[in-house]
Every structure is written in structure tokens, then in C-alpha cells.
Amino acid sequence: MEVDVGDLEGESELDPENLRRFFSVIKDWLIQNKNTRFPGGESKDDVEKRLKVLDSLISSSPMIFVGHATLFAIFLGTGGKVFERVEDLFLACAGIARYCPSTKNWSIES
């Protein structure tokens, strides 16, 4: 399940105010390590709790997870990945976030 952006769900991604609200929450989550909540939606803590389920699914066998950049950014962040700019979290279309089970490290490939 993707990140619940609450009141922003279904709103125009081209509206500058919607973009400002979205990036403000994401910046709080990934750079300032705050637990800001999307109005009517999830907090970073909510998303991290849901992602803990993935810990039991990850094995040494190859696996594919499909999702949007925000979900992967939170997942990468729970594994210690640090983002210095909000723009760093966005994967290119069909971008790959690779996980190495032996080292428990994540990398983003563009």
C-alpha cells in the first residue's frame, strides 16, 4: 500500500500549493526526521510500522517490490539511508532500489 497522503489524494500534482504541502511533509520526514502527518493521512511512523512487515519477507532469494518513490524512500530510510535533499528520494521511471541481504545495504540505481 502506498503512502496515504490524505487530503492531497486525487488533487492536482501540478498545483504549486499541493506540491508545497507534499514536499513540506516529505522534507520533515526524510531530512528533519520529524513525524509530521499528511492532513487526513499518514505520518512517517505509520508508514514505518507498515513496512516492518517486509522484514519477515526479505530473504536471500531475488525479490521484486513495486511501489512509488515516497514508499521506497521511507523503506530505505528505515535501513539507514540518509537523504540530504528531497529530490534525492525520487527514482527515475522504472528506477531500481537494490537491496543486498548479506550486508543489509540499499542502493538507488538510476
pTM (2 d.p.): 0.71
C-alpha grid cell, residue 83: 537523504
Share of residues in the chain with pLDDT > 90 (%): 27
The ranges assigned to domains in the chain are: 6-109
pLDDT per residue as tens digits for the range 3-37: 899 999 999 988 999 999 998 998 898 888 889 99
The counts of H helices and E strands in the chain are 3, 2
- Helical residues (DSSP H) of the chain, grouped into ranges: 16-30, 44-57, 69-78
pLDDT at site 70: 78
